[in-house]
Amino acid sequence: MFAAWGPELAFLYNDAYVDILGRKHPQALGRPFRDVWADIWHDISPIVDEAMQGRATYHKNLLLTMHRHGYDEETWFTFSYSPMRDEEGRVHGVFCACTETTEQVLSARHRAEEVERMRLLFQQAPGILAVVRGPEHVFEIANDAYLRLVGRDDIVGHAVAEVLPEVRDQGFIALLDEVFRTGEPHVGHEMPVLLRRGADSELEERFVNFIYQPIRDHRGAVYGIFVEGSDVTEAVQAMRALQEANSRKDEFLAMLAHELRNPLAPIAAAAELLRLGMPDAGRIEKTGAVITRQVEHMRKLVDDLLDVSRVTRGLVTLRRETLDLCAIVGEAVEQGAALMQAKRHRVHVELPDQRPWVNGDRTRLIQVLSNLLNNAARYTLDGGQVTVGVAVEGNDVRVTVEDTGIGIPPSLLPHVFDLFTQAERSPDRSQGGLGLGLALVKSLVELQGGRVSAHSAGMGQGSRFTICLPRVERPEGAAREQAEGEQIRGTLRRHLVVVDDNADAAQMLALLLETAGHSVNVCNDARQALDAVVTSPPALLFVDIGLPGMDGYELVHRLRRMPETAKACIVAITGYGTPQDRARALDAGFDEHLVKPVDPKALYGILARLSGQ
């Protein structure tokens, strides 16, 4: 303590104050108060003035920058200033009782800093950390990892059941109750939990490792639970994916063995027949045909395997050029025509008025579309429909292959482009193949800067595969070709009918007409044609002369008497091309006469004239 008295407030102090003065002792004794503490006078002079005016004040942990040991230092004091009066009650001095609290303040500051560091470490820890208190398990603290796990940031101060209602029936609150009641910790490994990680989000499955550790007070009673753990969802999903991939690989190897044994069996039998010797030329021819077919089947299997191997190892070299995607689609449809015809599928091609151009490898793009078309044919029942569409969307060109087939189950849809993935097959393996086609499609499309997706409403609902490729500018010199293409397609899309008892010829002509942008109905005899035109009147008919039962001449007579086709353009298609045959056809009522095999230029000319009508 000290006292400052008199006009100059002479400074008097006790022994305990010597440590506060430092180097100022003993010179400070009896000197004016202002001189002794000149270095802090601007801080304490208002307090001195208060005391000299008769008002006592108290100050706790006041910061003062003192120069008492030859350097400036921050110090803290708790003290009171009181007025000192003479016998007549007039104030003549100041009395101070003080305690230096520098060490306590610095210690408290250091403790606060340490607590803050620990809080930051707790908050930023990669594992989930939380503390819940009381039997209601109210969140006291929760770190960032815990908040990320549950997808919320407003849980502190609320009970677990209140902010995470979706976990009530999943056993976690019952576990907390058990730990709080018994005081025994609980450890969980890769436990699944369904969390709604957003106000309007769906339940999402996560996996966690965790421990519920009871927290006890000084009497040993449990008053809270410390929750520590980690979100191991990615690790669990990766392990499951690895197990699924391994399972698919095993299934694929078993399937590969099955597919290779199938052609080996007839080849082995044929070889044994040849070894035994067969003078019958007919049997030798049949045996040779079996061997040829089965070797071709094996070649296709090996080609698929090699293609996938080359693509996955990055060994495929693309020969890129600017291509008319409509032409690519036409070639792919032509390649798949045989399988489509064998299963009596209706093929519909939808093309845009303007040619879309892409930069890609011609052979590989045809391969991609052929794979999709072959898949559509395989998995669509006889008599179904396959639709191929080309459209321009902004900077992309989109090709869709849609079928009315067996569809794709929802569980398989996300994996249809993965290696070793295939829908469940029946024991007879009637569809055949290794299931590598879609993995190859995805790889080849992505190599050319595109993307591919699959959609299906479910089993029996058909499938749709969509390829998107970057659109490029039309190359120079293509203007004239495009004008010709537009003439072929025509500015109007029409409904056409092809009547021919040769199914292959009819189907190929129909595909050619559909590629030109028209809808086509194929009829294999005159009776079908007469029924078809009533249901959907055509603008143009291609009629074969040599039809069974009712020939083309009689059919055109009947068509001309029907209101639906009286003004339609009807073209005769025949193997007879003499002037007399042509004259007879025109006299019978045909507008045009084409000789088999039909010249594409003559066909395109008829389509162009039809569009100009």
User: What are the structural domains, with CATH classification, of the chain?
Assistant: 2-107 (3.30.450.20), 125-231 (3.30.450.20), 250-312 (1.10.287.130), 320-475 (3.30.565.10), 487-612 (3.40.50.2300)
Confidence of residue 336 (pLDDT cuts 50, 70, 90): confident
The mean pLDDT value for 460-471 works out to 93
User: HSE of 102 in the Cβ direction (CA atoms, 13 Å)?
Assistant: 9
* 287 or 157, higher pLDDT: 157
Least confident range of 36-40, 131-135, 285-289:
285-289
Residue 521 has pLDDT above 70, yes or no: yes
Structure tokens at 462: 């058909």
Specify whether the CB–CB gap between 73 and 80 falls below 8 A: no
Give the residue from 180, 194, 435, 424 showing the smallest Cα distance to 308: 435
Specify whether the CB–CB gap between 386 and 376 falls below 8 A: yes
Q: Residue 570: in which H helix or E strand, if any?
A: strand 569-574
Instruction: Please name every residue paired with 64 in a beta bridge, in sequence order, or none if there are none.
Output: 75
* 169 or 252, higher pLDDT: 169
Confidence of residue 572 (pLDDT cuts 50, 70, 90): very high
**3-class SS string, 1-61:** CEEEECCCCEEEECHHHHHHHHHHCCCCCCCEHHHHCHHHHHHHHHHHHHHHCCCCEEEEE
Give the residue from 311, 396, 385 showing the smallest Cα distance to 350: 385
The pLDDT, as a whole number, for residue 77 is 96
Specify whether the CB–CB gap between 543 and 590 falls below 8 A: yes
Angle at 375 between CA 259 and CA 253, to 5 degrees: 30
Portion of the chain with pLDDT greater than 90, in percent: 44
d(CA 8, CA 18): 21
The pLDDT, as a whole number, for residue 596 is 79
Is pTM beyond 0.85? Reply is no
Specify whether the CB–CB gap between 358 and 397 falls below 8 A: yes
Per-residue pLDDT tens over the stretch 577-598: 777 888 899 999 999 998 877 7
Residue 233 sits at φ, ψ, to 5 deg, of -60, -50
Structure tokens at 581: 């045959």
Give the residue from 370, 583, 604, 364 showing the smallest Cα distance to 490: 604
The pLDDT, as a whole number, for residue 312 is 65
Per the prediction, the chain carries an average pLDDT of 85
Give the residue from 99, 62, 96 showing the smallest Cα distance to 82: 96
The pLDDT, as a whole number, for residue 120 is 80
Least confident range of 12-16, 161-165, 265-269, 498-502:
265-269
Structure tokens at 425: 């097959």
Residue 4 has pLDDT above 90, yes or no: yes
The pLDDT, as a whole number, for residue 519 is 85
According to DSSP, residue 575 is labeled S
Least confident range of 3-7, 115-119, 175-179, 354-358:
115-119
DSSP string, 335-377: HTHHHHHHTT-EEEEE--SSPPEEEEEHHHHHHHHHHHHHHHH
Residue 480 has pLDDT above 70, yes or no: no
Residue 379 has pLDDT above 80, yes or no: yes
Confidence of residue 429 (pLDDT cuts 50, 70, 90): very low
Residue 483 has pLDDT above 60, yes or no: no
Portion of the chain with pLDDT greater than 70, in percent: 88
User: Which three-class secondary structure state does DSSP give residue 220?
Assistant: coil
Q: Which of 42-56, 295-309, 338-352 has the highest mean pLDDT?
A: 42-56
Residue 26 has pLDDT above 50, yes or no: yes
Specify whether the CB–CB gap between 76 and 116 falls below 8 A: no
Q: Residue 574: in which H helix or E strand, if any?
A: strand 569-574
Residue 435 has pLDDT above 60, yes or no: no
Number of other residues whose CB lies within 10 A of the CB of residue 90: 10
Residue 434 has pLDDT above 60, yes or no: no
The mean pLDDT value for 2-31 works out to 95
d(CA 320, CA 364): 10
Strands (E), 175-253: 186-196, 203-216, 222-231
d(CA 562, CA 572): 18
Residue 149 has pLDDT above 80, yes or no: yes
The mean pLDDT value for 365-379 works out to 88
Q: How do beta strands 495-499 and 519-523 pair?
A: parallel
* 14 or 125, higher pLDDT: 14
Long-range contacts, 237-242 (Cβ 8 Å, 24+): 237/207
Structure tokens at 185: 């910790």
Residue 418 has pLDDT above 60, yes or no: yes
Least confident range of 139-153, 323-337, 431-445:
431-445
Structure tokens at 186: 């609980």
The pLDDT, as a whole number, for residue 613 is 52
Residue 224 has pLDDT above 90, yes or no: yes
* 218 or 421, higher pLDDT: 218
d(CA 314, CA 306): 12
* 327 or 260, higher pLDDT: 327
Q: How do beta strands 128-133 and 222-231 pair?
A: antiparallel
Alpha helices in 421-471 (DSSP H): 437-447
Least confident range of 80-94, 129-143, 228-242, 591-605:
591-605
- Find how far residue 2's CA is from the centre of its chain: 79
Residue 154 has pLDDT above 90, yes or no: no
d(CA 229, CA 128): 5
The pLDDT, as a whole number, for residue 476 is 67
The mean pLDDT value for 548-574 works out to 91
Specify whether the CB–CB gap between 37 and 21 falls below 8 A: no
Residue 488 has pLDDT above 90, yes or no: no
User: Which three-class secondary structure state does DSSP give residue 548?
Assistant: coil
DSSP string, 69-80: SSSEEEEEEEEE
Per-residue pLDDT tens over the stretch 46-71: 999 999 999 999 999 999 999 999 99
The pLDDT, as a whole number, for residue 437 is 74
The mean pLDDT value for 196-208 works out to 85
The pLDDT, as a whole number, for residue 265 is 67
According to DSSP, residue 155 is labeled -
User: Which three-class secondary structure state does DSSP give residue 563?
Assistant: coil
Per-residue pLDDT tens over the stretch 72-89: 999 999 999 999 999 999
User: HSE of 192 in the Cβ direction (CA atoms, 13 Å)?
Assistant: 7
